[in-house]
Each structure stands twice: as structure tokens, then as C-alpha cells.
Chain A
Amino acid sequence: MEKQWFTISVYSENNVGLLNRISGIFLKRHINIESLNVSKSEIDEVSKFTIVVNTTQQWVRNIVGQIEKQIEVIKAFYHTDEETIYQESALFKIASNLLFDERQIQNIIKENNSQIVTVAREFFVLAKSGRRFEIDQMYEELKPFGIMQFVRSGRIAVSKEEMQITSLLKEFQES
């Protein structure tokens, strides 16, 4: 079976140790996590993990089954790239003098639809949200001028299909 990119979404309680429990499921199967994001979700007191992996359909099914089995996990899903709307965010820290010395920088900012987050005497910071390739493209464009620091977030994603966590939680409480 062919490997492909999957986005795993996990709705869970917000408890100490759950991250370790979930990451251990990947470790046990020798599968590398490409990116991981933990945040609150659309439901109060419910956390959402967004995990990106490159693996086979069979393995992602197995992993999601094992994740969902964990006591504090409410529900886990996996989706292909086509089934989700997803983005990443990146920050670029650039020397301030370049803004004035290199006119091309301003074009890069405009063409990439990125925002200037802050400008200080020594440096300024650009933010860019988008698909991985868009961020990579901006990175390549800025690289010749020198990037002081760069960071990119894990993927965040919402599925096109409904997740129905609220009704699921209700069902759990009634059963």
C-alpha cells in the first residue's frame, strides 16, 4: 500500500500525560510525526490535536483506532489532504536595514500576502500563513538576503465533513 499524507484530528480531554500517551502510539509503530499541533477546539474544555503523518491507509487506520481507544480521547479521525482545509503559519525575522537597502524585499512581502508583525531598530518580523509550498516559496525568496530566524507551525486543519463531537459527547453521557 502506498504512503500518503494524512491529517489526524483528535478530540480529547485536556489532561496531563495524554500527549505522551498519543505520541507513544506512533513510537510503538516506528512512525514519525511530521507535525503536531495542540489547541482548544470548538467545544468548551475539549482539546484538539492535529497530527500530520506520512504513512499507509492501513497504518493510519490502525493508529487512529488505537488513539481513539485511549480513555481520555473522545474521538479521532483521519483525512487525506483533499478532505481537509489546512494551513501552516511561519515567522521570518529579518535584519531591518534590508527593508531599506533591498527594494525587492518589499515586493516579496506584497506578492506573498505576508504581514509585518513588528518593526524594531535591528530587525522586523514577517508572518505568513498558507500551504507548506507557499511558505517554502517565500522562504526561498527571502533566503538570499539572509534570514535571522525562521519558524513554522504544525499544520492546523478543519475537515470538510462534519465531526459531530457535541452529539457524541451527549451520547456518551447518556449511555
Chain B
Amino acid sequence: METLKEKQKAQKSATTIKVSGAEAIIHCLLAEGVDLLYGYPGGAIMPVYDELYKFQDRLTHILTRHEQGATHAAQGYARVSGKVGVAMATSGPGATNLVTGLADAQIDSTPMVCITGQVPRHLLGSDAFQETDIIGISTPVTKWNYQITKASEIPEIMAKAFYIAKSGRPGPVLVDITKNAQFDEFEFAYEACTGVRSYNPVPKPDMKSIESAAELINTAKKPYIVWGQGVILGEAEAQLKALVEKAGIPAAWTILGASALDTAHPLNVGMVGMHGNYGPNILTNECDVLIAIGMRFDDRVTGSLDTYAKQAKVIHFEIDRAEIDKNVKADVAVLGDSKETLGLLLPLIQDNKHEAWHDEFKKKYQIEFDQVIKNDIHPTKEGLTMGEVIEEINLASENKAVIVTDVGQHQMIACRYAKFNRSKSNITSGGLGTMGFALPAAIGAKMGAMDREVVAIIGDGGYQMTIQELGVIFQHNVPVKIVVLNNDHLGMVRQWQELFFDKRYASTVMVNPDFVKIAEGYHIESKRVTERKDLRATVQEMMASKKPYFLEVKVEKEDNVFPMIPSGASVSDIRLK
């Protein structure tokens, strides 16, 4: 296919060429550096698919088996690569099937552009075949959305879409394009977007607030860092590490912040939140200065706000002004991009060590190890635990793998025990808690980081929500490793039923198919492990394989995830059993 430049040359026009709206969309994608997108065709997007056919040597389209899979694959791709993920669908049901992925990307700040077809302009509002108001439907779950009804709007809107998706606090953008706008021809010229007058994506750092933060940190006796995904999105991993080391501050992470600092780093004290580590939760209420970096005090992190870090001065490093004082009042708010603000902070920070304070975390870890961790990852009882499977994956992957998780018990266990030595390695549905996320997200993650091992860890419930995406893995030979931790239950809901609903197991017992046979049906190499003696060798075989690999591990049916902060309780009331 002729490139845009060749075409311009041929037409002897310096800046514009005459193309259809559909072709213009392809040129916009190429101009934004997109070489891969996920989607599903249908009537109202067919002109664009026709152009995708012509441009297939430059733009790879992956046909997912459901539009939801396209969004999660785009998210997985975006989260490992830092680039904008792209998903495409037709109007009506195609568009509505994107909604879960949009909501997931919105709450987890993932840059994604979704393109949907729409009925022709003259049919809007007529209840035409496959017409739905996707702009109205997607408004609350997008950072921005726009309906294009004229071909001439395409370059500007597409440029704006990519700019908005990736700038500031990233998020999903949906562009809906009526079919007439795809067919119409117009003079095309592309200019990347560099700003929108009503949008200020990155607040300028205020030195006064940074100086106040430095003073609090330098005089603190028990400083404590809790970082989130803002560190990864801002690519501030080196600055975080420098701060932690220079000031000698114990640092913990939210689930989406995982992997920004090596899990093995001595000052990395673990995960906060409902199923986070014991020390990081309980000591939140003993620190004197709480330094929150790129995190938003989600309720799963804070538990009851009335009893959260009330004794501490709170410093909040944040790019999104609306997050300041939203849940936890900040004594010092430092607005801006984390890499920039931490960079400005560092020269003001004095060398320090807080050994006695750090020892508190070590002591709490020992308690947690003795009462929980030991039994999770080195069990002596008969049945297999989820934790020991994660530990074997750590061993076989040398902590280098990208771990993609779904939602539920396996997710909490994987995030608790997976070890990381590289950033952008923990891909999970954090804010929305979308079951069915992992399998398609793993496909996207692998395609976004072909040089890395990608291991999807999924429960038997969530796996069946997007199991059809095995078709993509098979068709494109995507060498992801799929591990289903099968306890024949919707484990997390069952755990809550056990603890809070008197063991009334309403609709949480799963009657499962033969997962190995299903994977075999897709010609994917498959194994099932039911006994401990076979676990290590099989995990190693899986990790050594260069091809897609499916592993089902039958784990204990009624294990619980601990520690646990019951919903609405204080971080101080974290339970070890």
C-alpha cells in the first residue's frame, strides 16, 4: 500500500491528499505510531476494515473473539509498553461490548483509544439497525469522547484523541464515526495535537510545596512512603528509588504500583490494602509522615477513612488535582508529574536512616510470615495452595516475567507473592475488578513486550468470562503462559460468604468443564497438575516452552486469603486469620 508520503508526492501536493474518511483513520493511526490494534468488524465500521485490509502490511489488526477482549488486550498492551492501546468495534452491540474495558481503563488510568462505527449521520436518532448512543453510554467511563459526523473532522479529532489519552493522567478516549464520514472524501493533512486550550494535563510544580514536603520528610522520625501507579505512568521509578534510599524510608505499594521498585529491595516493605501485607497496613497508623506518591487512597487501600493515618502529616504527590483531599486530607499537596516533582524534591532531601522504624516493618513481616506466608508458599498440608504455584513461577522465571492477573483470590495471592525486578510487570484490573480481564490482557501484554515472558494467572471463574480469546492465542501463536488456579469456586466471594454470610455458599460453587481439553481444542499445549510432586517440573516445562502453554492447577477448594482488612474496618484491624 502506498504510504501517505508517496501519495502526497504522486499528487504533487505538499500538505494534503484526497482520501476517504476510512483511509484517513488509517493514516492517523500510522501517524500516531500505531502498528497494532484489536477489534471486531461489523456493518458500521466496514469501510475502515476495508482500508485495514489494504494496509495490513503496516498495521496489524488482531481479531479478538469478543469486543471486550479487544479492550482488555489494548489495555494489556498499553500497560506494558506505555503506549496508547487501540481497540475498534462496530456500532450498537459492538460498541456496548467495549464499555467494561473503557470503565476499567478509566479507573486504572490506562491510555486507550477506542474507535467505533456509527450509523450514517442522516439515520442518527432513527433507531436504525445497530444504532446505539455510545457517546451517551460511554461518557461517564471515558476521559473524553467525540462523535465524528463529517470526514473533514477526522484528522483533528484523532490527533486530539491520542493526545488526551496519553497526556497527564492517562485514560480511555472513544471516537464514534458515522458511516458517511468513513465514505466521504476530503483533503487530508495530519498534524499531531500538542495542546487543548481548556485542558491542563500536567500542573506546573510549585517549589513552595516541594520545600514544605522536603522539610516534613527531613524532620520525620517515622516517615513512610506509599506509592501507586503514578510512579509507573510518570516513569519516575529511578526517582522513587533514589528518594527511598537517600532518606532511608520504608516504602509500600498499592496493587497498581507493584513492580515500580524491585520486590527484593530492602526498603520495599510490601503491599498496602485489604489483602496487603501486615506491617504496611498496621504501621500506616503509626508513621508520623505519610508520603503518598501517585496513588489515590482507594477504599481498598485505606479501609475506614475515619481511622486512617490520623496521627500522620500527609504529603500527597499527584498529577490529578481532583484527587487532592478527595479521600484523605493532604497537609502538603505537590501537584505535577511524579518524575518532575520527585526530581525537584531529591536535592532537598537529607541523607538519613530510620533503622529502628524499619525494624518495626521487619518484625511485623516475621509475624505475617509465621502465621500466613509460610503456610501459603511452603505448605505442609496435603492440598496445593495458590501461593506455592506463584512461588514456583517466581523461581522458574527468575522474577523477570510480566504477571497478568484476573480478579479474586488468585489475584491477591499473585500480587502478594509475585516477585518483580522490572517495572511495568504487574498487569491487573485494580480499580474496577473486572473478571475476565487477564486472558485478553495477557495477549496484549505479550504483543507489547515480545521480549518478555508473560504469565497470566487466572481463577476458574474469570477464565470462563473471556475464555474465547484462546482463539487469538491459537491463531496468532501468541506465546503466553496461562495458569488457571482452579478451586472449583468463585473463591473470593466464597471466602466472604464463609466469613460474613454464615457459609451460605450462594452461587459460588463452579461446575467446571475439562479446561485441559478446551485448550487442546485450540491446539494449545496443556497440562493439569493435581499433586505437589508434579508442580515444579511442570511449571519449569511451561516456562521453558517457546509456545503458548496452558496449565491448570487444582488447588485447595476452601483456602482463604489473609491478611484481610474486613470491608469498612480500620487498617489497624487487619486480620491474620
Interface of A toward B, CB cutoff 8 Å: 12-13, 16-17, 20-21, 24, 27-28, 61-62, 65-66, 68-69, 71-74, 169, 172-173, 175
Contact = CB atoms under 8 A, between A and B. Distances in A.
Contacts of A27: 140
Contacts of B178: none
B456 interface: no
A134 to B, nearest CB: 36
A69 B320 contact: yes
25 contacts: A13-B198, A17-B135, A17-B136, A17-B139, A17-B145, A17-B146, A17-B147, A20-B139, A21-B139, A21-B140, A28-B140, A61-B325, A62-B322, A65-B321, A68-B321, A68-B322, A69-B320, A69-B321, A71-B144, A71-B164, A71-B199, A74-B197, A169-B197, A169-B198, A175-B204
Nearest to B323: A65
B567 interface: no
Main secondary structure of the interface of B (DSSP, over half): mixed
A21 B139 CA distance: 6
Contacts of B140: 21, 24, 27-28
Given A71-B144, A172-B198, A173-B197, A65 B139 contact: no
Contacts of B196: 71
Given A17-B136, A172-B200, A175-B200, 13 more contacts: A16-B147, A17-B139, A20-B136, A21-B139, A24-B140, A28-B140, A62-B326, A65-B321, A66-B322, A68-B321, A72-B198, A172-B197, A172-B198
A33 to B, nearest CB: 16
Contacts of B164: 71
A47 to B, nearest CB: 11
Contact of B198 (A16, A61, A71): A71
A143 to B, nearest CB: 39
Contacts of A175: 195, 200, 204
Contacts of A173: 195, 197
Contacts of A17: 135-136, 139, 145-147
B143 interface: yes
Interface in B93-143: 135-136, 139-140, 143
B204 to A, nearest CB: 7
Nearest to A67: B322
A69 B195 contact: no
Closest 7 CB pairs of A and B: A65-B322, A74-B198, A71-B144, A24-B140, A71-B199, A69-B322, A172-B197
Nearest to B199: A71
Contacts, number: 55
Contacts of B320: 69
Contact of B199 (A62, A66, A172): A172
A135 B495 CA distance: 59
Main secondary structure of the interface of A (DSSP, over half): helix
A71 B198 CA distance: 6
Find the residue from A21, A61, A62 having the highest chain B CB count within 10 A.
A21
Nearest to A73: B198
Contacts of A71: 143-144, 164, 196, 198-199
Contacts of A12: 198
B299 to A, nearest CB: 14
Contacts of A172: 195, 197-200
Contacts of A72: 144, 198-199
Given A12-B198, A62-B326, A65-B322, A24 B139 contact: yes
Contacts of A13: 198
Interface string B317-329: 0001110111000
Given A20-B139, A71-B144, A65 B198 contact: no
A95 B143 CA distance: 51
Interface in B324-378: 324-326
Contacts of A16: 147
Interface in B483-513: none
Contacts of A28: 140
A34 B143 CA distance: 26
A72 B195 CA distance: 12
A74 B197 CA distance: 8
A67 to B, nearest CB: 9
Contacts of A61: 325
Nearest to B160: A71
A134 B546 CA distance: 79
Nearest to A46: B198
Contacts of A62: 322, 326
A8 to B, nearest CB: 14
A118 B135 CA distance: 42
Nearest to A63: B322
B317 to A, nearest CB: 17
Contacts of A66: 322
Contacts of B199: 71-72, 172
Contacts of B325: 61
B144 A65 contact: no
Contacts of A21: 139-140
Contacts of B146: 17
A172 to B, nearest CB: 5
Nearest to A168: B200
A62 B321 CA distance: 10
Nearest to B327: A62
A152 to B, nearest CB: 28
A72 B197 CA distance: 8
Nearest to A74: B198
A57 to B, nearest CB: 11
Nearest to A23: B139
A3 B8 CA distance: 62
Find the residue from A20, A21, A69 having the highest chain B CB count within 10 A.
A69
Nearest to B145: A17
B142 to A, nearest CB: 9
Interface string B427-443: 00000000000000000
Find the residue from A16, A27, A71 having the highest chain B CB count within 10 A.
A71
Interface string B178-205: 0000000000000000011111100010
Nearest to B144: A71
A24 B320 CA distance: 19
